């Protein structure tokens, strides 16, 4: 029996340097109150225990680095949001034995320009990948969560 190793496609630091053209802003914290913790749990379809989320933001964009379980291991994903729309979703690290196809642009490009509707669902459908259902669900939930968190930051002003 072989053990599954995490495959890091790009480190968080390298992604941030690239995304912010070498001028990475200081990370900020979004504190999650009980109400928003419950909304996050509804999006993820499981209990959440975090009280704060770190993110990076400049005038043009916010970047959220989030982990969500595929089948049994976390998938680390970067979600870039500009004007409440996903500009980029990228898998940074994949730890599952199956479903790694979600890292490819043909899949992640579906998330571009997606927003949330009033029920906190994505406004554009995401086509699945045969054999990668749980990974697809994980990335879809991550995208929804990043958009929700971004809306909280936008409403703080």
Among the listed ranges 57-66, 105-114, 123-132, which one has the minimum average pLDDT value?
123-132
Count of structural domains, the chain: 1
Which domain, by its residues, includes 105? Answer: 7-155
In a domain, 103, yes or no: yes
Domain-located, residue 137: yes
Percent of the chain at pLDDT exceeding 70: 96
The predicted model gives 18-42 an average pLDDT of 96
Q: CA separation (Å) from 130 to 79, 99, 102, 146?
A: 23, 9, 11, 25
Edge to edge, what strands does the sheet with 28-31 contain?
Answer: 7-8, 85-94, 74-82, 62-69, 52-57, 28-31
Is residue 1 assigned to a domain?
no
Mean pLDDT value of segment 73-91? 97
Q: Is 44 part of a structural domain of the chain? A: yes
2 located within any domain: no
Residue 152 contacts by C-beta under 8 Å, 6 or more apart in sequence?
30, 36
**Overall pTM > 0.75:** yes
- Give the integer Cα–Cα distance in Å for 41 and 48: 6
Query: Per-residue pLDDT averaged across 48-56, rounded?
Result: 94
């Amino acid at each position: 029996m072989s053990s599954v190793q995490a495959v890091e496609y790009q480190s968080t630091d390298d992604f941030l340097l690239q995304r912010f053209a070498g001028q990475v802003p200081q990370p900020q914290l979004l504190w999650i109150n009980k109400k928003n913790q419950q909304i996050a749990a509804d999006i993820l379809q499981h209990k959440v225990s975090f009280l704060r989320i770190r993110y990076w933001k400049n005038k043009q964009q916010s970047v959220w680095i989030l982990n969500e379980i595929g089948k049994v291991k976390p998938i680390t994903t970067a979600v870039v949001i500009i004007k409440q729309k996903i500009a980029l979703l990228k898998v940074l690290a994949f730890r599952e034995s199956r479903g790694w196809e979600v890292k490819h642009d043909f899949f992640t490009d579906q998330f571009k320009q997606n927003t949330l509707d009033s029920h906190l669902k994505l406004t554009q459908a995401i086509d699945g990948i045969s054999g990668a259902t749980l990974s697809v669900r994980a990335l879809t939930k991550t995208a929804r969560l990043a958009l929700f968190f971004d809306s909280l930051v936008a409403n703080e002003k």
